[in-house]
């Protein structure tokens, strides 16, 4: 009998090859890349060559034409990489920047960005957040004004993953500022376009091997053909993308929590205090019981929701619940695991501290826990 009902044989084969690659090509170098604050750009190409971005993307452009479960497997396996920075960089490109091209792009945009993106030859980023608009996507201020057959873009973005090194950015702009969230469009901006600059590479608590940028747009002229999807349909497109992003983050957090739990359980059996293994004290034993229960509960909620999602069923409420529960529990579990390690847990050479630092972004990025709870509440009919 299969251990996990959610996955087919192809997904498990994909898991095997991803796991081998992570163990040989990523994990051994993770400490070095985390320390340096960057992983080699070549890793995108290597991942692309091995088909890691291809699973859920269309065959006409080099994908496999499978479903979201490939993304799930990749996120779960990357949790064993020892670097969530790598996971964030590759994941953002493959599972957040490429799908909107497949879903909303013209044939020309797909040829230009999706096909080489699947091969890992070019790297993508998604720019929504601004210095004065994060949770409030409808309040973004970057403007794109039509001038003949070009858009002229002015504004700024912040916290953009892959922002420093990306070859193309899918930028959310106001194309009809009077219409609020109904006046947003997504426009593709290439690296090197005059007026478009990376104003700052941001220093951060975790995900240290991934690059996170502040971007500036000053009279950036972009051909109208770079409009992704319909004009003023950007808010819907962004929300559509958020569904997969939030589910992907939730399963990544479950896998990270499991990994942190496994490391700590081993430690609890080896570390002797007052003449017995640290895990044998009842208070610690109960912590392990709690942590495993949360991990299993989060995984079951995620797998159930993924099943609804891949079968096209309504699951906005469930996705928000996955995002809150899995991401918050992963932080709590990583924190408990540091405590269970005692002083060693605070040392940089122990992986639990990195998991805690890397997980801390999870209840913030891709829509905060508070925003998810607002979604759940409104779907319960408790809106204003």
Site membership for ligand FAD, residue 83 (CB under 6 A): no
Question: Three-class SS of residue 361?
Answer: coil
Residue 252 in the binding site for ligand FAD (CB under 6 A): no
* SS3 state at 151: strand
Give dist(CA 177, CA 155) in Å, integer.
Answer: 13
Q: Which of 126, 228, 320, 352 binds ligand FAD (CB under 6 A)?
A: 126
Binder of ligand FAD out of 198, 368, 378, 379 (CB under 6 A): 368
Q: Which residues pair with 273 in a beta bridge?
A: 276
Q: Is residue 374 a contact residue for ligand FAD (CB under 6 A)?
A: yes
Q: How distant, in Å, are the alpha carbons of 173, 195, 222, 223 from that of 181?
A: 10, 25, 22, 23
Q: How many residues of this chain bind ligand FAD (CB under 6 A)?
A: 22
Stretch binding ligand FAD (CB under 6 A), from 112-120, 125-133, 147-155, 264-272: 125-133
Nearest to 128 by CA among 371, 377, 379: 371
Establish if 366 lies at the interface with ligand FAD (CB under 6 A).
yes
Residue from 128, 184, 215, 316 binding ligand FAD (CB under 6 A): 128
Catalytic residue among 245, 318, 328, 351: 245
Q: How far is the CB of 127 from ligand FAD (least distance, A)?
A: 6
DSSP, collapsed to helix, strand or coil, labels residue 233 as: coil
Strand, coil or helix: what is 196? strand
CB 282, min distance to ligand FAD, A? 36
What is the distance in angstroms between the CA of the first residue and the CA of the last residue of the chain?
Answer: 48
Instruction: Identify which range of 129-137, 180-188, 191-199, 348-356 contacts ligand FAD by CB under 6 A.
Output: 129-137
Work out whether 87 is an interface residue with ligand FAD (CB under 6 A).
Answer: no
| 185 contacts ligand FAD (rule: CB under 6 A) | no
Minimum CB distance to ligand FAD, residue 364 (Å): 5
Report which of 46, 58, 131, 57 is spatially closest to residue 86, judged by C-alpha positions: 46
Residue 238 beta carbon to ligand FAD: minimum distance, rounded to whole angstroms: 9
Question: Tokens 């996170």 belong to which residue?
Answer: 212
Dihedral of alpha carbons 168, 155, 103, 239, sign: positive
Taking the complex as a whole, the smallest distance from the CB of residue 319 to ligand FAD amounts, in Å, to 15
Is residue 129 a contact residue for ligand FAD (CB under 6 A)? Answer: yes
Please state, in angstroms and rounded to a whole number, the distance separating the CA atoms of residues 264 and 262. 5
Say if CB 295 and CB 264 are below 8 A apart. Answer: no
Q: Tell me the CA distances in angstroms from 343 to 139, 141, 337, 346, 350, one per residue in order.
A: 44, 46, 11, 5, 10
Q: Is 121 a catalytic residue?
A: no
Footprint of ligand FAD on residues 197-236 (CB under 6 A)? Answer: 204, 207, 212
Question: In the window 130-169, what residues touch ligand FAD (CB under 6 A)?
Answer: 134-135, 159-161
Looking at the Cβ atoms of 212 and 305, the one nearer to ligand FAD is 212
Token output for 187: 């426009």
Position 85 contacts ligand FAD (CB under 6 A): no
Structure tokens at 353: 């501290």
* 100 binds ligand FAD per the rule CB under 6 A: no
38 binds ligand FAD (CB under 6 A): no
Would you count residue 24 as binding ligand FAD (CB under 6 A)? no
Cα(138)–Cα(247) distance, integer angstroms: 22
Q: At closest approach, how far in Å is the CB of 55 from ligand FAD?
A: 21
Residue 277 backbone phi and psi in degrees, to 5: -60, 140
Residues β-bridged to residue 340: none
So which residues are the catalytic ones?
Answer: 245
User: Which residues in this chain contact ligand FAD in the complex, by CB under 6 A?
Assistant: 92, 126-129, 134-135, 159-161, 204, 207, 212, 361, 364-368, 370-371, 374
């Amino acid at each position: 009998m299969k251990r996990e009902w959610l996955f087919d044989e192809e997904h498990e084969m994909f898991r095997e090859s991803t796991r081998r690659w992570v163990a040989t090509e990523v994990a051994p170098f993770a400490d070095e890349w985390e320390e340096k604050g960057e992983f080699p750009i070549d890793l995108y190409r290597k991942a692309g060559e091995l088909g890691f971005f291809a699973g859920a993307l269309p065959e006409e452009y080099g994908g496999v034409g499978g479903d979201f479960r490939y993304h799930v497997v990749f996120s779960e396996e990357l949790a064993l990489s020892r670097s969530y920075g790598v996971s964030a960089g590759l994941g953002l490109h493959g599972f957040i920047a490429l799908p909107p091209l497949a879903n909303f792009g013209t044939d020309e945009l797909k040829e230009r960005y999706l096909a080489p993106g699947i091969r890992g030859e070019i790297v993508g980023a998604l720019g929504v957040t601004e210095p004065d608009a994060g949770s409030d996507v409808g309040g973004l201020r970057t403007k794109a004004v039509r001038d003949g057959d070009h858009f002229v873009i002015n504004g700024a973005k912040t916290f953009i993953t892959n922002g420093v090194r990306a070859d193309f950015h899918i930028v959310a702009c106001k194309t009809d500022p009077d219409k609020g969230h109904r006046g947003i469009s997504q426009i593709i901006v290439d690296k090197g376009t005059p007026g478009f600059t990376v104003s700052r590479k941001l220093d951060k608590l975790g995900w240290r091997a991934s690059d996170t940028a502040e971007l500036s747009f000053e009279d950036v002229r972009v051909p109208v053909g770079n409009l992704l999807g319909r004009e003023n349909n950007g808010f819907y497109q962004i929300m559509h993308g958020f569904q997969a992003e939030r589910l992907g983050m939730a399963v990544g957090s479950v896998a990270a929590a499991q990994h942190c739990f496994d490391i700590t359980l081993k430690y609890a059996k080896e570390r002797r205090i007052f003449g017995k293994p640290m895990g044998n004290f009842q208070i610690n034993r109960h912590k392990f019981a709690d942590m495993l229960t949360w991990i299993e509960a989060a995984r079951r909620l995620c797998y159930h929701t993924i099943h609804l999602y891949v079968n096209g069923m309504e699951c906005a409420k469930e996705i928000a619940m996955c995002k809150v529960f899995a991401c918050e529990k992963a932080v709590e579990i990583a924190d408990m695991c540091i405590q269970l390690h005692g002083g060693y847990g605070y040392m940089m050479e122990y992986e639990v501290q990195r998991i805690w630092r890397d997980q801390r972004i999870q209840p913030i990025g891709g829509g905060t826990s508070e925003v998810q709870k607002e979604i759940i509440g409104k779907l319960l009919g408790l809106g204003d």
